[in-house]
Structure 1
Amino acid sequence: MKIFSPRNAALAVAASVSLAFAATALAQQPRTLKIQSAVPPSSTTQDALKFFADRVDKLTGGNLKIEALPGGAIVPPFEILDAAHKKVIDGAYGISYWWVGKSVTATLFANTPAGIAGMDAVDFIGWVYDGGGLELWNEFYQKELKLNLVAMPSIPPSPQALGWFKRPIKDLPDFKGMKCRQTGIVSQLYAKMGMAVVNMPGGEILPAAERGTIDCAEWVGGIEDLRLGLHTVWKHHYTPGMHESASVAELAINKDVWDSLPEQNREAIKSASTETFLRWWATFQRLNADAILEFTEKHGVKLMTTPPEINTAFLKTWDEFAAAEAAKNPFFKKVYDSQRAYASKVVPAKRFMFPPYALQADHYWPTKTQ
């Protein structure tokens, strides 16, 4: 028979309190997640990842830290998604259209190409959070691809330029046969339009251009292209392009890692990602403006308007491709139909409500001809 003792009871209470404090202290110990991008250290996308990491650190009071790693730091750039799934890294900072080799549906979660059904980046974010897009995104990774990931939007690296060319292009026939760096679904579409496409990470573009193994390249445009140095090889820069007129990138975190985080830390990641979307986008536009001036004033770059028939042909090629894919791929159709239904409301309404950008721009800053 166990005899009650006030001393034993006090010891038991003390031990219980000690264990509780130990558990609390363990839970409050700073934790670091390794998140890798697929871009060079000089990229503004890498700047965005660092900004995101800083905001998570501050929002959690230092309880959660993000180690912002550039492309190739742990795994090759185009292996970040699988690496996050396998927990080689905790998260991948990329863009979903890179994964079209797994499923063409992946491109839809990047709002690429052509700004799905005319949606700009804000329209797309509306579909993600108000139109069921986030649920479809995670259903795609977790159920369709069997990847142990949780995904969300990160930044809008758009609009993107048609690209850099070794010589002028005046029409669609002039565009055909050129060997050009492209990625994702865009490479398939441009191939259908007659381009000889080459897929490679961003860090390999400049060496390939210098060797003359490619005739042209699409990277991003503006500041990204300036930092990559494409203007040092080619002098003909064409914009706009329809391939990534309103693309949105992603943050994909290993689901086990995500589920292991306290709810407050998960909410901090969501908030930091949304803040990064807006803050980085605004800075990106200003940096692009500076880069455009530098191209022309310091490097003799010719800024050219893309021949309209190229962009029109691209839109038609995508529409045909998407219709064919929807006919054979039920999940692609499910996502695409959802996006088109959302776009059918917001795009016509925005066109009605918003003044044409060119109306005010032309009034205050008329276009200068070269």
Structure 2
Amino acid sequence: MKRRNFIGTAAIATAGTATFGACSPRPQPPEETTPRVSTAEPAIRWRMATSWPKSLDIVFGSSDLICRRVAAMTGGKFTIVPYGAGEIVPGLEVMKAVQAETVECGHTASYYYVNEHPALAFATTVPFGLNAEQQFAWLYYGGGLEAIRDIYADFNLINFPAGNTGAQMGGWFRRQVNSPDDLKGLKMRIPGLGGKVMSRLGVDVQVLAGGEIFPALERGDIDAAEWVGPYEDERLGLNRVAPYYYSPGWWEPGTTYELQVNRRQWEILPREYQEILQLATAEATTRMLAQYNTANGEALERMAAGGTQLLSYSESILNAARDAAFALYEEKARGNEAFREIYDRWAAFRTKVYRWHRVNGFSFDRFAFREVR
């Protein structure tokens, strides 16, 4: 696989230094920023397609934050207009739109496009994979971003991490599931490799954009659905059409969203604008994670008080899902050299970072969290 070096140092450097000050669920307006660009830089106007309904104020708000930051840091000379899912293209067709230069960039999740290339899932999240901080480490310092960009280069794209939800919930169900047998024949909305695993467990997998989930559940077209977590799920109204809310979201332990940019458009962008765009995506990543960690607990308490039944997946389901997930990875690795290269690198990183976190982070969590009532 050919190596292409698209990465500047700014995205890596700023991943650890971008602002962590967001305490409200809703994105806050950027502070006044002195323009960094020279007066000689050109005025550039881009459009951003997104996979998100505008009603989802954290995830679409993060798309909007990127655009506002870029405008603020360039004194309005580089502007990007974000569009909700369906305004330019459907939410699951963002990648094609960016590839074709229908738009210059898109805010989306790579695992929506695993049918284009299965290894793209590693840029977002995979079942029984990495949590948010481990995913950041894998992408920026474990070779993950470089490997994913090799794949995207063949689609005329370059990607930038641009958001993280943290560990997601395990989905909404119209009836209880207690064993792997209960999953057979179930119609469930779930994308990415998580969907591939569920399919192996007998689930009739559906891939729907966010705005399509509520009506499908309400009509009974699907029996279950996963989206993000309590805050965004509540805004979609999923608690009003399914009574059982499961955890953990074993297929999405650290979901990373991304900005996809058309490669030709990226290469003609002035270097200063490239640096600024990378800074904006890095800030959106850290703010989104902080916002979800603030908002999800409050939303979960509201839903529990309103009658939502919180349930945990059984050990039998988790064991069956884990075994199916790693069997899937090995199968795809045997048939796809690019997948094998990324999977081997990811698996080695996962082993090392799991060992470290088991010694320190997990030991703390296991003690401290048991005190929570």
TM-score (norm. length: structure 1): 0.86
- Asked if the contact 2:247/2:313 (under 8 Å) is kept, the reply is yes
Q: What's the secondary structure of 1:227's corresponding residue?
A: helix
Structure number with the higher helix fraction is 1
CA distance in 2, matches of 1:99, 1:285: 27
1:176 is matched with which residue? Answer: 184
1:259 is matched with which residue? Answer: 267
* Residue number among 49, 55, 76 corresponding to 1:36 in the alignment: 49
2:131 is matched with which residue? Answer: 120
1:288 is matched with which residue? Answer: 296
- Asked if the contact 1:241/1:306 (under 8 Å) is kept, the reply is no
Structure with the greater alpha carbon radius of gyration: 1
- Asked if the contact 2:132/2:167 (under 8 Å) is kept, the reply is no
CA distance in 2, matches of 1:328, 1:150: 25
CA distance in 1, matches of 2:326, 2:43: 49
* Residue number among 71, 89, 93 corresponding to 2:107 in the alignment: 93
Q: What's the secondary structure of 1:102's corresponding residue?
A: coil
Q: How far off is 1:29 after superposition?
A: 4.5
Aligned pair count reads 334
Tell me which amino acid in the other structure corresponds to 1:51: L
- Asked if the contact 2:123/2:148 (under 8 Å) is kept, the reply is yes
CA distance in 1, matches of 2:288, 2:221: 33
2:337 is matched with which residue? Answer: 330
2:61 is matched with which residue? Answer: 47
Question: What do residues 284-331 of structure 1 show as CA deviations (whole Å, max 9, x unaligned)?
Answer: 11111121011022x311111222221221111010010111111111
* Structure-to-structure mapping, 1:1-370, within 5 angstroms: 27-43=40-56, 44-115=58-129, 119-142=130-153, 146-297=154-305, 299-354=306-361, 355-363=363-371, 365-366=372-373
Question: What do residues 166-214 of structure 1 show as CA deviations (whole Å, max 9, x unaligned)?
Answer: 1222222223221111212222210111112222211111111111111
- Asked if the contact 1:113/1:247 (under 8 Å) is kept, the reply is no
CA distance in 2, matches of 1:60, 1:343: 39
Q: What's the secondary structure of 2:256's corresponding residue?
A: coil
Q: What runs of 5+ residues in structure 2 fail to find an aligned partner?
A: 1-37
Identity %: 29
Question: What do residues 135-158 of structure 1 show as CA deviations (whole Å, max 9, x unaligned)?
Answer: 21111011xxx3111111111123
Tell me which amino acid in the other structure corresponds to 2:117: S
Q: What runs of 5+ residues in structure 1 fail to find an aligned partner?
A: 1-23
Q: What's the secondary structure of 1:266's corresponding residue?
A: helix
CA distance in 2, matches of 1:217, 1:344: 30
Tell me which amino acid in the other structure corresponds to 2:95: L
More relative contact order, 1 or 2 (CA 8 Å, 6+ apart): 2
CA distance in 2, matches of 1:41, 1:261: 27
Q: How far off is 1:94 after superposition?
A: 0.8
Tell me which amino acid in the other structure corresponds to 2:183: F
CA distance in 2, matches of 1:223, 1:71: 19
- Asked if the contact 1:107/1:113 (under 8 Å) is kept, the reply is no
CA distance in 1, matches of 2:164, 2:184: 29
CA distance in 2, matches of 1:187, 1:357: 29
CA distance in 2, matches of 1:264, 1:33: 16
CA distance in 2, matches of 1:292, 1:268: 36
Root-mean-square deviation (CA, aligned residues, Å) is 1.6
Q: What's the secondary structure of 2:212's corresponding residue?
A: helix
Q: What's the secondary structure of 1:34's corresponding residue?
A: strand
Query: Quick one: structure 1 residues 264 and 209, their matched pair in 2 at CA, closer, same or farther if it must change by over 3 Å?
Result: same
Q: What's the secondary structure of 1:347's corresponding residue?
A: helix
